[in-house]
Chains A and B, each alone.
Chain A
Amino acid sequence: MECRKENKDGVIVLVVDGAIDHETAAAFEQAVMPSLDEAEAAGTGLVFDMSGVDYMSSVGLRVLMLAAKAAKQKSISVVVAGLQATLAEIFQISRFDKIFTIYDTADAAVAGVRG
């Protein structure tokens, strides 16, 4: 699993690649929390570009939920983009699709966050 951060029009985009499982969840969490701080400083929001994620179990979902909770406290938005078919199903089964706004692409998500 790899994460890299981008700033698109003032919106922080966390581009995630690979598998988020018990081996990599801690690294994913470590990447997410500073990104939330940056998004708060930018006064916009955080986009998870998940188009490169091919596997995610409950530990990855937990990190996303922590991010959502932290974002609520910071009064910023957190959205998800580019879910592969497998991940989209996992979001639906876990009901995470009821919690997160999901966009087809990172660009659409950035536009959505910017309003």
Chain B
Amino acid sequence: MQVKFWGTRGSLPVAMKADKVRGKIVQALQAARGKNLDDDQAIADFVDNELDFSVAGTYGGASSCVEIDFGNDEFVLCDMGSGLREFGFDSLRRINEGGKKGAYSFFMSHPHWDHIMGFPFFAPAFMPTNNLKIVGGHDIEFALRRQQDNPSFPVPLDWMGAPREFQVMKDGEVLDTGAFTVKIRKQPHHGDSYGYRFEKGGKTVVYTTDAEHKLDDLDDFDAHIEFMRGADLVIFDTMYSMADAISVKEDWGHSSNIVAVDMCHQAGVKHLAMFHHEPVFDDAMILQNHTETIRYEELVRPGDDVLRISCAYDGLVIDV
């Protein structure tokens, strides 16, 4: 399996402004003082190896959209955030290059706006030669239709030419697609959200975002740990700090990096991908959050098994 992140930002897409770009350039040039950067390779090596990711790159600003490639000829996506637009064009490129056909399956966490806003801009949905299957615990068709109805958008859903099939799964249901199995779990969020446990060939990826796992809701806590049990990769909503999640932002529907690490430890997860980044955080703050989360994992690690922690960014690819 291969996981590619097309959108990792929570709640609202964001874009970097000129002052942030300038700040990165200034920082990079300051770090370059006294270095021998006479040739292009030396410059590339310096950028790749000596600059923080928050300076040399960016976590991006597209909202939730994650591709899981099971190695067959179909596309599988989790959510339709604004990252879906770029995925759509890339998928057409891959179809043209061979190896993929125009079959797209979507597994929807929930129909909140930031998780469906990419669909009206998803070019493959306009092509009658493609096929879309949209799976979720909610009535996603209603949400997509309303999103594109007048006066919110000029192109109604039925104007999009690709055949669509919608499937509503029940909490705990397992779907065997032939290429992989997927189990759905209802999660605590305003109006509920759903997590997905994908399994193929002994490998497991869990996509669990927009979920507020409260430490005093032991039924949810324990059940979710079982849902994530032994996963090779868990993509987890780490939007808030622990203090915010249980105080000023309690009941806002999201979890923290601290809860993510504790739950992954208890579930025996191998790799955690921090996801659904707070839109007010800039790259430096997200990097700090990542660094601190790695340190927290060290401080509370219950045994010798290291929980690998990545911080998802738009464009990140993880092989499972």
Contact = CB atoms under 8 A, between A and B. Distances in A.
Contacts of A58: 215, 242, 256, 258-259, 262
B131 interface: no
Interface in A23-78: 55, 57-59, 61-62, 65, 69
Contacts of A86: 299
Contacts, number: 53
B242 A96 contact: yes
B243 A57 contact: no
A92 B243 CA distance: 10
Nearest to B292: A93
Contacts of B266: 22
Contacts of A90: 296, 299-300
Interface residues on A, range: 10 to 19
Nearest to B213: A58
A6 interface: no
B259 A99 contact: no
A99 B247 contact: yes
B243 A96 contact: yes
Contacts of B244: 95
Contacts of A59: 215, 262
A89 interface: yes
Contacts of B256: 58, 94
Q: What 4 pairs between A and B have smallest CB-CB spacing? A: A95-B243, A94-B242, A62-B215, A95-B241
Interface of B: 215-216, 241-244, 246-247, 256-259, 262, 266, 292-293, 295-296, 299-300
17 contacts: A22-B266, A57-B258, A57-B262, A58-B215, A58-B242, A59-B262, A62-B215, A65-B247, A89-B299, A90-B296, A90-B299, A92-B292, A93-B258, A95-B241, A96-B242, A96-B243, A99-B243
